[in-house]
Chains A and B, each alone.
Chain A
Amino acid sequence: MNRRYRFILRMCVVLALMASAFAVKVGEPAPGFTAVDSTGKQQRLSDYKGKFVVLEWHNQGCPYTKKHYESGNMQRLQKEWTAKGVVWLTVISSAPGTQGFVTPSQENDYLKTMNAAPTAVLMDPGGSLGHLYSAKTTPHMFIIDPNGTLIYNGAIDDHPTSDQSDIASSKNYVSAALEQALGGKPVAEAATHPYGCSVKYKD
């Protein structure tokens, strides 16, 4: 293989990787990542190939996150779906000094206090995982299927408020999508407008 051809091939691969990194569209491959969780363990999306993965963007001080945690709603979802073999990854992209930023030990304390049950919490203070997924709000939910395809991107439910009293009458998009997908059906509402506080990115 001549040099020029090899160079072009290499550039094509780089461009392909870049292109896939910026696509967060339902129906397309979900961007791969490596991140460190709150126990210090390295987590890769590829580790979970063959399983459904939920990504939950989180900021414990945000009124919309509090709506789902103080009511126990998020913890209920985490328990229900991890019991069915779904991998639940909470992601914290708050930059140091911003609302929602926590040290790993603070996060582990929070998980105990709140009785939360994600598979792991990914610490993303630099925001690179957030930017990779174009995560906009807390909460912002993504679901990836066992083949690595993004099958849901959007809001947790259909009542974009910070009122706990709205949860009972809300349609939970995440549960609906997982029920359909685990049942081998296409996700009816695969992309919705996420609501919440803006993710507190660095810069």
Chain B
Amino acid sequence: MTRLCFAIAVLLLLTSAAAIAQQGSTQHAKVELISRQVAVSPGKHLLLGVHFVLEKGWHIYWTNPGDSGQPPSFKWQLPSGFTAGEIRWPRPERLQPSKELVDYGYDDEVLLPVTIHVPLAISDRSAEFAADAKWLICREVCLPEHASLHLTLPVSSSTDLNQQHSQLFAKTDKLIPQLLPRAWNASAASRKDDFVLRIRAGKPIVKAEFFPLDPGQIDNPAPQKLQPTSNGAKITLKKSDLLLKPITVLRGVLVIPEGPAYQIEAPVRQPIQ
């Protein structure tokens, strides 16, 4: 009898030592904190993610929300010695509430990965992660929502991936803008009312969309005029009415439809006075 009790106790302990996640379910989104790996490995980066599953028709926002809205933000509570990096934003979608506004965000489902830096020395057998998540979710109206997310992971030398979430992390990885290939080049020219972003890629680019990282530089609703060139493309981006001073760098994401997304940091050449 005692052996059976002991066995049950051990079983319970083992299952509880495995990943314990807590979800937040708010009015229009299911939100959970998940991990790519099954365990925390001392000295090795851990990839966590906040996974949003949105009710049909509702959307949340990118780091630059565009003309309206507010991006999600997380306040982390981590074990001693652990630090959280920035959100790795997958490429956004273009949302157009009316002809006056264009926003950038996500609908349906999105995983926002965050790298956690893990110290070399961990005294506990398990690590508890908590995040206070806040976000704005909109359809024809906007609602501020929040959730307290929790995740407990065992500490071990295992670098095994969590089978349950591996597909989601892999899919998301492809949506995160990559660095511009070494052989490519991005630069911009500032004209009176617009910027001309020039991409040199070694081959023509026939279709691409630019998402500005910094608000107040580009006029979001204005159509982007893309002109393919023999070795890339020239994209004309109307300046925002709010842009009063010259900028030195135009930052953003260039999305090739059915293709990769690239991080753009284009030095801006001012017009010759």
Real binding pair: yes
A34 at the interface (CB under 8 A from B): no
Residue of A nearest to B245 (CB): A191
Given the contacts A191-B244, A198-B97, A201-B100, A136 and B68 also touching, CB distance less than 8 Å: yes
Identify which of residues 106-162 in chain A touch chain B, using a CB-to-CB cut-off of 8 Å: 130-131, 134-137, 153-154, 160-162
Residue of A nearest to B215 (CB): A193
Contact with A along B44-75 (1 / 0, CB 8 A): 00000000000000000000000111100000
Q: Which residues of A pack against B, CB within 8 Å?
A: 23-26, 61-63, 98-99, 130-131, 134-137, 153-154, 160-162, 190-193, 195-201, 203
**Complex alpha-carbon distance, A23 and B240, angstroms:** 11
A198 and B242 contacting across the interface, CB-CB below 8 Å: no
Which listed residue, B99, B141, B215, B241, touches A153 by the CB 8 Å rule? B241
Contact with A along B28-54 (1 / 0, CB 8 A): 000000000000000000000000000
Q: Which residues of B pack against A, CB within 8 Å?
A: 67-70, 97-101, 103, 136, 138, 140-144, 215-216, 241-244
Residue of A nearest to B141 (CB): A99
B241 and A203 contacting across the interface, CB-CB below 8 Å: no
**Complex alpha-carbon distance, A62 and B97, angstroms:** 15
B68 and A63 contacting across the interface, CB-CB below 8 Å: no
B100 and A190 contacting across the interface, CB-CB below 8 Å: no
Taking the closest CB of chain A, its distance from the CB of B153, in whole angstroms, is: 31
**Complex alpha-carbon distance, A99 and B97, angstroms:** 13
- A-B contacts at CB below 8 angstroms, number: 71
B241 and A131 contacting across the interface, CB-CB below 8 Å: no
The majority secondary structure among interface residues of chain A is: loop
CB neighbours of B244 from chain A (8 A): 26, 190-191
B141 and A136 contacting across the interface, CB-CB below 8 Å: no
**Complex alpha-carbon distance, A128 and B215, angstroms:** 25
**Complex alpha-carbon distance, A93 and B141, angstroms:** 15
**Complex alpha-carbon distance, A135 and B100, angstroms:** 8
The 4 closest A-B pairs by CB, nearest first: A198-B68, A191-B242, A201-B98, A193-B215
Taking the closest CB of chain A, its distance from the CB of B128, in whole angstroms, is: 26
Which listed residue, B142, B215, B241, touches A62 by the CB 8 Å rule? B142
Taking the closest CB of chain A, its distance from the CB of B63, in whole angstroms, is: 12
Residue of A nearest to B73 (CB): A161
Residue of B nearest to A202 (CB): B98
CB neighbours of B69 from chain A (8 A): 197-198
B67 and A63 contacting across the interface, CB-CB below 8 Å: no
A137 and B100 contacting across the interface, CB-CB below 8 Å: no
Which listed residue, A26, A98, A197, touches B68 by the CB 8 Å rule? A197
B140 and A99 contacting across the interface, CB-CB below 8 Å: yes
B142 and A63 contacting across the interface, CB-CB below 8 Å: yes
Taking the closest CB of chain A, its distance from the CB of B97, in whole angstroms, is: 4
Q: A153-B242, A160-B70 are in contact. List 5 more A-B contacts (CB 8 A).
A: A136-B68, A162-B136, A191-B216, A199-B101, A200-B140
CB neighbours of A192 from chain B (8 A): 216, 242
Taking the closest CB of chain B, its distance from the CB of A12, in whole angstroms, is: 21
B142 and A134 contacting across the interface, CB-CB below 8 Å: no
B144 and A134 contacting across the interface, CB-CB below 8 Å: no
**Complex alpha-carbon distance, A24 and B241, angstroms:** 7
CB neighbours of B142 from chain A (8 A): 62-63, 197-198
A191 and B243 contacting across the interface, CB-CB below 8 Å: yes
CB neighbours of B103 from chain A (8 A): 198
Question: Taking each of B98, B215, B216, which has the highest tally of chain A beta carbons within 10 Å of its own beta carbon?
Answer: B98
Which listed residue, A98, A191, A197, A201, touches B138 by the CB 8 Å rule? A197
CB neighbours of A197 from chain B (8 A): 68-69, 138, 141-142
**Complex alpha-carbon distance, A191 and B97, angstroms:** 23
CB neighbours of A136 from chain B (8 A): 67-68, 100-101
A203 and B216 contacting across the interface, CB-CB below 8 Å: no
**Complex alpha-carbon distance, A62 and B68, angstroms:** 12
Residue of A nearest to B244 (CB): A191
B100 and A193 contacting across the interface, CB-CB below 8 Å: no
Taking the closest CB of chain A, its distance from the CB of B69, in whole angstroms, is: 8
Residue of A nearest to B214 (CB): A193
